[in-house]
Amino acid sequence: MSRVARARAFVRNTWRGLTSMRTALILLFLLALAAMPGALLPQRSLNLPRALDYIEAHGWWGALLDRLQFFDVYASVWFSAIYLLLFISLVGCLVPRTVEYAKALRDKPVLTPRNLTRLPHHLSAELDTTPERVMADARARLKGWRLVETEEDDGARSVSAERGYLREAGNLVFHFAMLALIVSLAVGKMTNYEGQVIVVADGSEFCNAGTLGYDSFRPGLRVDGTDLTPFCVRVNSFEAKYLPNGQADSFSAGIDYQAGDELAGDTWTPYKLKVNDPLRVAGDRVYLLGHGYAPTFTVTFPDGTKRTQTLQWRPVDNLTLLSEGATKFDPPGVTDAAERRKRQLAVTGLFAPTALIEDKLLTSVHPQLSDPAVAVDVMRGDLGIDSGRGQSIFQIDQSLVDSGRLTRVARQNLRQGEAITLDDGTKVSFDGVVPWVSLQVSHDPTQLWVLVAAVTMILGLGVSLTVRRRRLWVRATPGDAGRTVVRVGGLARTDQAGYGEEFHRLAAQLLGRGAGSGGAGTSRRGT
Amino acid sequence: MPVNDTLATYSDWLYRAAALVYVFAMIFYTIEQAFTRKAKKSEFARELIGAGAPTTPDTPAVGRIEEPAGAGKPERFGRIAVALTVLGALLHLGSIVTRGVATGRAPWGNMYEYGAATMFVAVVAWLVLLRKFDVRRLGAFVLTPVVILMFLGGTALYTSAGPVMPALQSYWLVVHVSAAILSSGLFLVPGVVSVLYLVKVRHDANPAKFAKIGPRLPAAESLDRLAYRTTIFAFPIYTFGIICGAIWAEAAWGRFWGWDPKETVAFVAWVVYAGYLHSRATAGWRGSRAAIINSVAFALVVFNLFFINLVIAGLHSYA
Ligand code: HEM
């Protein structure tokens, strides 16, 4: 064999192997197996801190799993490889099957077998009629079946009938829809993005203008964040209802939005944003994901200048919404950077929407905002804000405390309206609370395609699992004294079960009532 | 929506009564089993014997086999067992309905309610199949997991009647979860039957194995067929349920698919069921292998309910 021929044979064999049913089956199970670790191990994409903790806690084993991409299963090389092979195998299966199906649609039903009694279903009777009349009757009764009639040598006539071609059509539709779904998902992965942002519900606005506006932003593979869909959202209010035991009953945020031409002017459309009820605007969706509280603090500096800030604190306990945070202030009128770094202030600690103070320890007993209080440390010194190092908006930089550059100057519990006066006469007051909402903006131009593909899949599946491909033959042979022996045979090409009833009904009709008593009919019964 | 505590209490009583009646039904099925010397020839067994056995062609081939007159003792026990199963199912239905009325919402908002409804579907599916297939002797095997799961549901997973969290206040709770309940309940039957198929095949190959139950099981082929036909009925419903979950997730969680643990295992189970359907059409995979795949798939469905809900934190952890 020449080299070329050998290479060609190799390619052909590989292709055949890859597109065989057995391979598809094995790939299917591999895919199932490969997806499993994603349910059992924490995934980076879902919960980064937990994934990192897990790796940390499991030493070399964690590190090894990490190297093998077990914490990014669905983006891993091996998962993608199986997925891709399955895709190829699917294409390789489908193309020839479609061609075959197109041919089968034009083919005639197979000729009537010599011996109908060998078939899984058969019945016969001798009737007082002619073969022509039997044939005419069969044609009439087999409406919707594909028929072919033949005249046989001994004067007998027969008809072969077949139906249920829709089964294969449904099957093909299902598989092609699955291909479409996979392709849509892949395109979606390229073009989608998802951003999250916290907005205080006091009329603050958020505009989908660039990635910097977000607290976190996850772009698709082909998204660089430069052309986000422009729209703006203004959050006016937030309302949460709770049951007495603290279980949430309903959340809703009153918002206004504008998009398109409205952005230039001051037209806003109101909307009630709720869980299960995202705002759909300009092809994107805005979700209400979470909520919390932003306490308002006012610092009155010794020279009388006031600074007021309302900044979100984050829940540390989702049941009671006990929250932590750090509201940071720059001293006014200090231009010298070094001087400023000695006199920055941070109000940090815990916030409780329904406070319970026992032994000076603050806890929250209910998530509703009914009796708010804070337990705060006021820190003075260098907050490290202008060091260029990024820091959490919910915390102060502990290393600055450790190094003594930031020191605690007061610790106190405050109810709404109360204040602390510091040693230098600065007054810190806890003025009020505004709820905040966390919003998610999602952009996925292919999700409708995915839905259409999925619905098509299930329609195809329904057809292919309910329709049965089946055959029926009738042979009418002239008998003695002008009578005719009629034999009916049936065969289900797919699952045998269930054809029996239909066969018996049809055959009984063809043979006339009580036909069985006249002839030696037998049939295996199926259910 | 305030909860009607009286009705909720009735619901709990009905639940316990249903479980208890199922236990009695199981006992009667077992007695029938024990007294039946060897397998009656089932429809399928007859079919295997072949076309030689004449039957009257004008009796349509539906329904169960006519029992010979003067059915014996085991037969009577079997009938009592079925009657008890029906009674249990009625009590069970009562429990579900009263809980729904008591809470004023679809009664499947937490694991207890979900499990209760799923087991109800399994029992009803079983009763329906009983009319078509001659498999009454398998009753005890089907009711065993039902009773175990109901016991777990009524104790460890029990949740008192109450309203559900905001994410669940949607008509998708009705659509998505009822599809999940319907398909999982239906899957229970082929799950059990496939295991029995494996037992039967082992026994047929070597009569010394499973010598006690082997002879009392219906023919392997009939078990295979029962498993297949129930699975192809449940599989599209399962697919529908997953798609509805995805549609709901798009509205509730901000994306239609995110590999949340429950979604992942649903996907895995779906793929394995798809594998089962394909295996029956693939040379070398029919029979035992297919039955193993079907059992594994059902195990995954159960795993998805218990392990993923209770052990792994995910978006589905509402219980
Ligand atoms: C792609 C998205 C989703 C998939 C694939 C999915 C899948 C499933 C499956 C397979 C079950 C059956 C339970 C089992 O066998 O354990 C189930 C149950 C359930 N699903 Fe979903 N689901 C999705 C989205 C959702 C959403 C968005 C919600 C509600 C916000 C939801 C709420 C429930 C509830 C309440 C149950 C029944 C109780 C339970 O088992 O936790 N699902 N889901």
Owner of token pair 């269930």: A498
Helix (H) or strand (E) holding A408, with range, is strand A406-415
pLDDT attached to residue B148: 94
Give the residue ranges of chain A where pLDDT is below 70: 1, 495-498, 513-527
Q: Mean pLDDT over residues B290-302, rounded?
A: 96
Does residue A454 belong to the interface with chain B, where contact is any CB pair within 8 Å? yes
pLDDT attached to residue B59: 39
Supply the range of the domain harboring residue B311: 165-319
Q: How far is B144 from B146, CA to CA, in rounded Å?
A: 5
User: Please, which residues 236-295 of chain B have a Cβ atom closer than 8 Å to chain A?
Assistant: 236, 239-240, 243, 246-248, 250-256, 258-261, 264-265, 267-268, 271-272, 274-275, 278-279, 281-285
Q: How is residue A127 written in tokens?
A: 């009737």
pLDDT attached to residue B11: 94
Q: Does B239 fall in a domain?
A: yes
The DSSP letter of residue B133 is S
Report the atom number in ligand 1 closest to the C-alpha of B305. Answer: 16
Helix (H) or strand (E) holding A401, with range, is helix A398-402
Q: Does B1 fall in a domain?
A: no
| Dihedral over alpha carbons A455, A286, B257, B168 (to 10 degrees) | -90
Are the C-beta atoms of residues B173 and B108 closer than 8 Å to each other? yes
Number of domains in chain B: 1
ipTM for the assembly: 0.84
**Of residues A266, A195, A201, the one with CA closest to residue A234:** A201
Q: What pLDDT, in 10s, does the model give residues B225-267?
A: 899 999 999 999 999 999 999 999 999 988 999 999 999 999 9
Q: Is B225 exposed, middle or buried (0-12, 13-18, 19+ CB in 10 A)?
A: buried
Q: 10 Å Cβ neighbour count for A388? A: 6
CA distance B32 to chain A (A): 24
Residues in A touching B56 (Cβ below 8 Å): 516
Does residue A515 belong to the interface with chain B, where contact is any CB pair within 8 Å? yes
Q: How far lies A36's CA from each of A85, B261, B266, in Å?
A: 18, 9, 10
Q: Does B143 fall in a domain?
A: no
Q: How far lies A307's CA from each of A253, A408, A425, in Å?
A: 28, 20, 15
Owner of token pair 């104790």: B155
Q: Does B275 fall in a domain?
A: yes
Percent of chain B with pLDDT over 70: 87
List beta partners, residue A151: A157
Question: Do the Cβ atoms of A517 and B284 come within 8 Å?
Answer: no
Closest by Cβ to A514, choosing from B58, B247, B264: B58
Q: How far is B127 from A350, CA to CA, in rounded Å?
A: 59
Q: Does B35 fall in a domain?
A: no
A31 or B1, which is more confident = A31
CA distance A119 to chain B (A): 9
Q: Is the CB of B168 within 6 Å of ligand 1?
A: yes
B287-317 exposure pattern, b = at least 16 Cβ within 10 A, e = fewer? bbbbbbbbbbbbebbbbbbeebbeebebebe
Instruction: Ligand 1 pocket test: pick from B262, B272, B308, B309 the residue with the most ligand atoms within 8 Å of its Cβ.
Output: B262
In chain A, the residue whose alpha carbon lies closest to the alpha carbon of B308 is A39
pLDDT attached to residue B52: 34
List beta partners, residue A159: A149, A474
Helix (H) or strand (E) holding B97, with range, is helix B73-103
Helix B171-205 vs helix B220-252: angle between axes, to the nearest 10 degrees? 160
Owner of token pair 């997953």: B242
Q: Does B270 fall in a domain?
A: yes
| Dihedral over alpha carbons B111, A35, B277, A24 (to 10 degrees) | 170
pLDDT attached to residue B1: 55
pLDDT attached to residue B55: 39
pLDDT attached to residue B317: 60
Q: Does B183 fall in a domain?
A: yes
Q: Does B255 fall in a domain?
A: yes
pLDDT attached to residue A522: 42
Closest by Cβ to B55, choosing from A278, A440, A525: A525
Q: Is the CB of B43 within 6 Å of ligand 1?
A: no
By alpha-carbon position, which residue is closest to atom 42 of ligand 1?
B245
DSSP labels, B22-57:
HHHHHHHHHHHHHH--SPPPPHHHHHHH-TTS---T
All residues at 6 or more sequence positions from B253 whose CB lies less than 8 Å from its CB, including other chains: A287, B167, B260, B315
Percent of chain B with pLDDT over 90: 55
Q: Cα A137 to chain center, whole Å?
A: 54
Are the C-beta atoms of residues A101 and A172 closer than 8 Å to each other? yes
Are the C-beta atoms of residues A29 and B275 closer than 8 Å to each other? yes
pTM, two decimal places: 0.86
Q: How far is A13 from A34, CA to CA, in rounded Å?
A: 26
By alpha-carbon position, which residue is closest to atom 32 of ligand 1?
B316
Question: Do the Cβ atoms of A450 and B256 come within 8 Å?
Answer: yes
Q: What pLDDT, in 10s, does the model give residues B52-107?
A: 333 333 333 443 444 444 457 778 898 999 999 999 999 999 999 999 999 988 89
Q: How far is A241 from A258, CA to CA, in rounded Å?
A: 28
